[in-house]
Amino acid sequence: MSDSESSSGTRSPRPGSERRSANRFKTQVPVTINFKSGEKLTAQSRDLSLGGIFLYTNQAFENGSELELVLVLPPDLTGGQKQWVCCQGSVIRVERAAGGGFGVAARLDAMSALPELPS
């Protein structure tokens, strides 16, 4: 039995191992973070999945902070057409980004489609 298997033969995650339950896609799109105060902040995604997003921003966040994110999913993630979405989530990790700013990992609790916004 390996050190990652329990006596029942089931595998337990190793420390630092992947905990995602959904595929992650590398995609760099602008993200708007809406605050309850009405203030908005612009960020840039690095990757996203149905369960989470990692983005870069100039503002640090505390773990557990609730976020509302608005972004456009690119056609390669939606089956052919771009789609505006609004996501509700919370910060699970913040790290200093190389070159300044912050990297923010957030869990996505809800995602809803928005109508196409006229240009």
> Among the CATH numbers 2.170.150.70, 3.40.50.2300, 3.30.1330.10, 2.40.10.220, which is that of 25-113?
2.40.10.220
Q: What is the dihedral of CA 24, 30, 36, 38, to 10 degrees?
A: -170
With bands split at pLDDT 50, 70 and 90, how would you rate the model's confidence at 116? confident
pLDDT digits (tens, 9 = 90+) for 31-59: 999 998 899 999 999 999 889 999 999 99
Of 54 and 20, more confident: 54
The domain segmentation of the chain, as residue ranges, is 25-113
Burial (0-12, 13-18, 19+ Cβ within 10 Å), 104 = buried
